Structure 1
Amino acid sequence: MAKILTITLNPAIDVTIELNELRLGEVNRQEHVQLHAAGKGLNVAQVLHDLGHTVIVSGFLGRENREIFDKHFHHMQFDNQFIYIDGETRQNIKVAESSGRMTDINGKGFIISEQNKTAFFAQIEACSVDIDHVVIAGSLPQGFSIDDFKSLISLLKKLNKKIAIDTSGKALATAIAMNPWLIKPNTDELEESFGKNVEQFSAQTELFKQLDSQIEHVVISMGENGVNWLNSGKALHAQPPKMTVKSTVGAGDSLLAGMLHGLVSNFTPEETLTTATAIASHAVSQVGFRIPTQDKLAHLKQQTTIKSLS
């Protein structure tokens, strides 16, 4: 198994409220509520840990409500290399209805200072010495600019790391232009960043051709329509099994973790995509994103269809 660094620049405490149906303007009664130390990079880290990998976690966290993160890191045996700054880590409210609909209310979070950034870049260089793969996932916090994001990618490329990125908006367009090892956008994020409908495989390949992309692995999530994997070998499509959706939170992060797991474990392309898609499919059937049991995973893999797009 590998040692992998995950970077979460803008983590959050996810407060997930489960109820039958959200009635706007009325009093709603929750059925369950869960609090998670979250953020896309930390979600990826949790799945990677469950798959047997050693994980270093880094990014920024607020000192004033750090306890939930510290307990999570201890429980998951993460190597904690976060930079703690003044203020609180943001809270994201997620309302999960029994129909599968999810309503998100995301907090703004803290503001990163120049001093914070200097400490962070030094920490990243120090803690990435003996690892080959780095995941950068999630949004950028206030005060961490696109130029700072470019500097982070440049630093990791200078250190010869294989970089996997999952972000959106300007950060996604910036990442694609810098040709990391792997990206995992969904179709909505690509359309937001480039103004083009990319639901079809032909439109996806044309977009990355126009961008003169040198990215080795482009993993495009399309929800219930599956996953397209454009890579330097052959393009593949995965059609996931039909699932009863309880929450989509963490599904994309589970897909990314599953892809990374297969690639670093030298699985065949078909086995890599099958495993990742099965793990992501299981994620939507629960509130949370722990991986399924081996029997459940094997069953989901049997229900996942892979075909060549080459």
Structure 2
Amino acid sequence: MAKVLTITLNPAIDVTIQLNELQVGEVNRQESVEIHAAGKGLNIAQVLKDLGHEVIVSGFLGTTNKQIFDDHFKEAQFQPEFIYIEGETRQNIKIAEHSGRMTDLNGKGFLVSELDKKNLFQKIEMILPQVDVVAIAGSLPQGFSVDELQQLIKLIQQQGKKVALDTSGKALVAAIECQPWMIKPNTDELFESYQLPAATYAEQKKLFENLAKIEHVVISMGEDGVNWLHDTHPLHAKAPKVIVKSTVGAGDSLLAGMIHGLINGFSDEETLKTATAIASHAVTQIGFRIPNAETLNQLKAQTTINSLSESDANC
């Protein structure tokens, strides 16, 4: 198995509240609350670890409430290489309803200093010789610009390492200019970033023909499945029907599954089928752990993979 570095620049403590139905402006009774260390890079790391890969996790963390992260790293057997800075890591409140609807109240995050950023870049440069792939995921903290995100990507690429990226908005636009190995936006994020339609394969193909060349563009489309754009054999995955409990971590699970398949040399069809099955299972739970082999194989059997063409109006 490979060794992967995940970078979470703006992690969070997720507080997930389950209830029947959110009544805005009323007193609501929660059914359960789960609190855990989170962030898109950490979610990706968890899935990759469950799949058997060695994982190093890095980024920024606040010192005030770091214990929950330290405990998580020990339990998950991650190798932590974070830069600890003054202040608190943000909290994200997630309200999960029985219908599957999720309401997010995301914290802003800490402010990183010039010294914090310098220390992170130095640490990443030291780690790179140990790893095969780097995944950068999530939003940018205050004080970390899109130009600095580009510098980070270029630092990794200069060491000959593959960069997989999952972010949105101006950060996504800036990252695409650096031609990472893989990106995993969803259709809403593409529209937000470029103000152009990206709901179908034809629209997606047209959009990316005018952007920097990226080897693997993986576009999650919710109930409509996943489109994987690459030169040799663009594919569409139709996900199995499942009961949605929470969408948190689904996109992260998809990206982790794609990394897993590609670095293990799976066929294109097997890579996308495995990644889609893992993501489908993620929405059935609060969390994003890998199902047992039997459940995963059942979900893979229910996942349909087809070739894409511009005539595919619904893909």
| TM-score > 0.5 by shorter chain | yes
Matched, 1:297 2:300: no
Partner of residue 267, structure 1 = 266
Please report how far the alpha carbon of residue 227 of structure 1 lies from its aligned counterpart in structure 2 after TM superposition: 0.3
Matched, 1:23 2:36: no
Partner of residue 105, structure 1 = 105
User: Could you list the per-position Cα deviations for residues 15-59 of structure 1 after superposition, in whole angstroms to 9, with x for gaps in the alignment?
Assistant: 000000111111111111001100000000000000000000000
Please report how far the alpha carbon of residue 130 of structure 1 lies from its aligned counterpart in structure 2 after TM superposition: 1.8
Partner of residue 197, structure 1 = 197
Secondary structure in 2 aligned to 1:248? coil
Q: How does 1:41-56 map to 2 (within 5 A)?
A: 41-56=41-56
Partner of residue 240, structure 1 = 239
Partner of residue 210, structure 1 = 210
Q: Which amino acid aligns with 1:153?
A: I
Secondary structure in 1 aligned to 2:130? coil
TM-score by length of 2: 0.97
Q: Which amino acid aligns with 1:273?
A: L
For residues 227 and 11 of structure 2, the distance between their equivalents in structure 1, rounded to whole angstroms, comes to: 28
Please report how far the alpha carbon of residue 158 of structure 1 lies from its aligned counterpart in structure 2 after TM superposition: 0.9
Matched, 1:65 2:78: no
Please report how far the alpha carbon of residue 217 of structure 1 lies from its aligned counterpart in structure 2 after TM superposition: 0.4
8 Å Cα contact 2:147-2:174 kept in structure 1: no
Q: Which amino acid aligns with 1:197?
A: P
Q: Which amino acid aligns with 1:292?
A: P
TM-score by length of 1: 0.99
Please report how far the alpha carbon of residue 261 of structure 1 lies from its aligned counterpart in structure 2 after TM superposition: 0.4
For residues 146 and 30 of structure 1, the distance between their equivalents in structure 2, rounded to whole angstroms, comes to: 38
Q: How does 1:1-310 map to 2 (within 5 A)?
A: 1-211=1-211, 213-310=212-309
Q: Which amino acid aligns with 1:53?
A: H
User: Could you list the per-position Cα deviations for residues 186-237 of structure 1 after superposition, in whole angstroms to 9, with x for gaps in the alignment?
Assistant: 00000011111110100101111111x3211000000010000011321000
Q: Which amino acid aligns with 1:104?
A: D
Please report how far the alpha carbon of residue 154 of structure 1 lies from its aligned counterpart in structure 2 after TM superposition: 1.0
User: Could you list the per-position Cα deviations for residues 156-211 of structure 1 after superposition, in whole angstroms to 9, with x for gaps in the alignment?
Assistant: 11111100000000000111111100000000000011111110100101111111
For residues 140 and 200 of structure 2, the distance between their equivalents in structure 1, rounded to whole angstroms, comes to: 29
Q: Which amino acid aligns with 1:175?
A: A
For residues 301 and 83 of structure 1, the distance between their equivalents in structure 2, rounded to whole angstroms, comes to: 38
For residues 39 and 284 of structure 1, the distance between their equivalents in structure 2, rounded to whole angstroms, comes to: 16
Unaligned runs of 5+ in 1: none
Unaligned runs of 5+ in 2: 310-315
User: Could you list the per-position Cα deviations for residues 237-273 of structure 1 after superposition, in whole angstroms to 9, with x for gaps in the alignment?
Assistant: 0000011111000000000000000001110000000
State the number of aligned residues.
Answer: 309
Please report how far the alpha carbon of residue 11 of structure 1 lies from its aligned counterpart in structure 2 after TM superposition: 0.1
Please report how far the alpha carbon of residue 303 of structure 1 lies from its aligned counterpart in structure 2 after TM superposition: 0.3
